[in-house]
Amino acid sequence: MTPAEVTHLIEKQGVKLIDFKFADLLGTWQHFTTTLSEYSDDLFTDGLGFDGSSIRGWRVINASDMLVIPDPDTAWIDVFNTEPTLSFICTIQDPITREPYDRDPRGVAEKAEAYLKSTGIADTAYFGPEAEFYIFDDVRFDYTANTSFHSIDSVEGIWNTAREEFPNLGYKIRHKEGYFPVSPADTLQDIRNEMCLEMEKAGIPIERQHHEVGTAGQAEIDIRFAPLRKMGDYMMYYKYITKNVAKKYNKVVTFMPKPLFADNGSGMHTHSSLWKDGKPLFAGDRYAGLSETALFYIGGLLKHAPALTAITNPTTNSYKRLVPGFEAPVNLAYSARNRSAAIRIPTYSPSPKAKRAEFRTPDPAANPYLANAALLLAGLDGIQNRIDPGDPLDKNLYELPPEELAKVPSVPDSLLGALEALKADHEFLLKGDVFNKDFLDNWIEMKTKEHDSLRLRPHPYEFYLYFDV
């Protein structure tokens, strides 16, 4: 969309307000709003100034002046505002140098796309994340010096079979039996449908939606693949729209990777492929119909996977999902059709255009711009250095004998372990100045503080285990 087309949209829709959205370092949208008095075509080149000192992980107060540069292609009428409001997704620039701010996640994604083109290997990287989430009815939590608790509830939760609901109709989804039930067990069809339709209004093509495995309202909405930065934009819309549609129904959406004990966590299996001059590069005559390029790309993902988890699985809670022997794929192997391997080669279609690698370890707590950029850089490093992924593993990894499983490497089992892996293996992220040392040092410092904040606090289950020692 051109600035002139944006102006026409403003007039046609009777827009009164302009909203400027941008992602902080951890992947949460921040925003501010102006009236039309601030709007002109110059906005798309000159931007608007704001204070970046209070944004998580950004500038210190003595260097806090920054610019938001709205992207006209992201213009969208934000349906969650009472007054007609036009929303833009923005990138961030330094007002002095006019260079992209190196801690802006969207700017990192743009640099990753530019680096890809500079390599000559490909000109487009497509990504297709499958984000899972829970829709709850009630969430309460607190932590003080002498108390801690959390409480989650859902009308679908199996724990509510005995609750008085005037009347309780008994349609509760048992643990791990939530995949594809119909109404009345699935109570969230209309909400998911509305989420899909609102996403389509925002320009996001929808593939399908369904109830997921977990009891208590686990859901998945799949969107069609898109280039790296655009997919980052899509995922920011995805989270914003799902959360606000749920709020309209007096419910709440969470992308927390493991909110429930004894049931499935929420992952974000991420499909990726490389294209050049409109042609797919991952189709060939090797294993599962892949090309040599695709296998080297997979080799890069497997080699760097421990370090990648510091970005693709960036919370302490992420590692309560990544537990060996349970539903999340932690074993660093690749295989066709095999969902127990960290990298799966989908075989739904024989079309060369459908050839891709699905990295199943990430979760939806990840910042989508940063996660996809890091995955691309790992794959490109595999291609550039011809990293052999080894032999595929076409067995159920959850049922391997211990002596065989011991030979298969796995992802770290904690955020601290992932950060240690990132410290030891990050040179591939510095290529093309996509990430830089300052960014990674800042990220590791922030995430180490998160790890320490959990490490310092007693856990309620520790009282069950140890109070009587």
**Contact call for residues 366 and 312 (beta carbons, < 8 A):** yes
Q: Tell me the C-alpha to C-alpha distance, in Å, between residue 320 and each of 174, 260, 263, 309, 349.
A: 21, 10, 11, 13, 34
Q: Catalytic one among 31, 175, 210, 339?
A: 339
Choosing from 198, 220, 233, 263, the catalytic residue is: 220
User: Which token pair is 42?
Assistant: 């110059």
**Does residue 200 have an active-site annotation?**
no
Active-site option among 211, 321, 360, 451: 360
Distance spanning both ends of the chain, measured CA to CA? 67
Q: Active-site residue among 110, 132, 198, 381?
A: 132
Q: Is 198 one of the annotated active-site residues of the chain?
A: no
Q: Which of 5, 38, 51, 190 is catalytic?
A: 51
Active-site pick, 358, 363, 381, 451: 358
51 is a catalytic site residue: yes
Q: Is 94 a catalytic residue?
A: no
Amino acid at 401: P
**Residue 189 is encoded by which pair of tokens?**
């069809």
Q: Is 269 a catalytic residue?
A: yes
Is residue 286 annotated as a catalytic residue, yes or no?
A: no
- 140 flagged as catalytic: no
Measured CA to CA, the distance from residue 135 to residue 251 in angstroms comes to 7
Among residues 78, 104, 186, 212, the one annotated as catalytic is: 212
130, 156, 186, 263: the active-site residue: 130
Q: How many CA atoms lie within 13 A of 398 on its CB side?
A: 10
Among residues 103, 269, 304, 426, which one is catalytic? 269
Q: Is 33 exposed, middle or buried (0-12, 13-18, 19+ CB in 10 A)?
A: middle
Contacts for 426 with CB less than 8 Å, ≥ 6 apart = 307, 435, 440
339 is an active site residue: yes
Residues recognised as catalytic: 51, 130, 132, 212, 220, 269, 339, 358, 360
